[in-house]
Amino acid sequence: MTHLRRLEVVGTSDFPRAAADRILNEILGAVRARGTAALMLAGGSTPERVYEELARREHAPWSRVDVFFGDERSVAPDHPDSNYAMARRALLDRIPIPGHRVHRMSAEGPDLDAAAARYAELLPAAIDVLVLGIGEDGHTASLFPHAAALTASGRLVVPTRGPKPPHERLSVTPEVIRSARSCVVLAAGAAKASAVARSLEGPQDLGGCPAQLARDRIWILDRDAAELLGQAGG
């Protein structure tokens, strides 16, 4: 499947609205086409305001949406570092989504390999709307530069180890990103500008910049995160 890159660059105050509108648009497209939408959420801090804005969209078809997670830290689901806890706070506790349609990625147990295999069993053949963030080092989901997970063939979810605590995590693999029907990358703030430029305009370097996996997808950027675009070599 080929993808046409789409860049939306907005003022910082407009970022949550623009990102929420785009995600909703992709959800509506999936529901129109197939009757349901498999939405996979990103973690970290950037999406929180976006999810709060998304929760305010009255006409979102939540009864038709299945929610999954692209990665999770190995912490309890109510831990301050939990991506699930953030999604509950910012979105899931604010919308009329049936409980059975929320598929938490349980990464708090002792056996992350078994947890990864269990979660992979839950995933559909393709995610309809995959939301990703990007780290300053170019990571996305919990796929960090030069990680073995980047070449994990035949697996959809794997244990990974991040440089910052909580170190132990679960993450979807590049296969899930590549097969997603729609992918929306969220980046805001000047600290992300270099990673955004490397991802979108730098030389092909998946190992060094895993966010290049979403190079030709939809990117919602605030002006600070976009400030180096058009200046990167290559």
DSSP state of 102: B
Q: What share of the chain is helix, strand, coil (3-state, %, to 5)?
A: 40, 20, 45
Q: Which is nearer to ligand 6PG, 33 or 122 (CB)?
A: 122
Contacts of 220 (CB under 8 A, 6+ apart): 8, 10, 15, 18, 19, 22, 184, 185, 186, 187
Q: Which is nearer to ligand 6PG, 160 or 182 (CB)?
A: 160
Kindly list the residues in this chain that would bind ligand 6PG in the complex (CB under 6 A).
42-46, 71, 83, 133-135, 139-142
Shortest separation between residue 103's beta carbon and ligand 6PG, angstroms:
16
Residue 50 and residue 20 in contact, taking contact as beta carbons nearer than 8 Å: yes
CA distance 81 to 114: 22
Q: Which is nearer to ligand 6PG, 169 or 181 (CB)?
A: 169
Shortest separation between residue 184's beta carbon and ligand 6PG, angstroms:
12
Shortest separation between residue 116's beta carbon and ligand 6PG, angstroms:
15
Counted residue by residue, the chain has a size of 234
Q: Which is nearer to ligand 6PG, 73 or 181 (CB)?
A: 73
Shortest separation between residue 222's beta carbon and ligand 6PG, angstroms:
12
Residue nearest to ligand 6PG (CB): 133
Shortest separation between residue 160's beta carbon and ligand 6PG, angstroms:
10
Q: Within a 10 A sphere around the Cβ of 16, how many other Cβ atoms?
A: 24
Q: Which is nearer to ligand 6PG, 44 or 208 (CB)?
A: 44
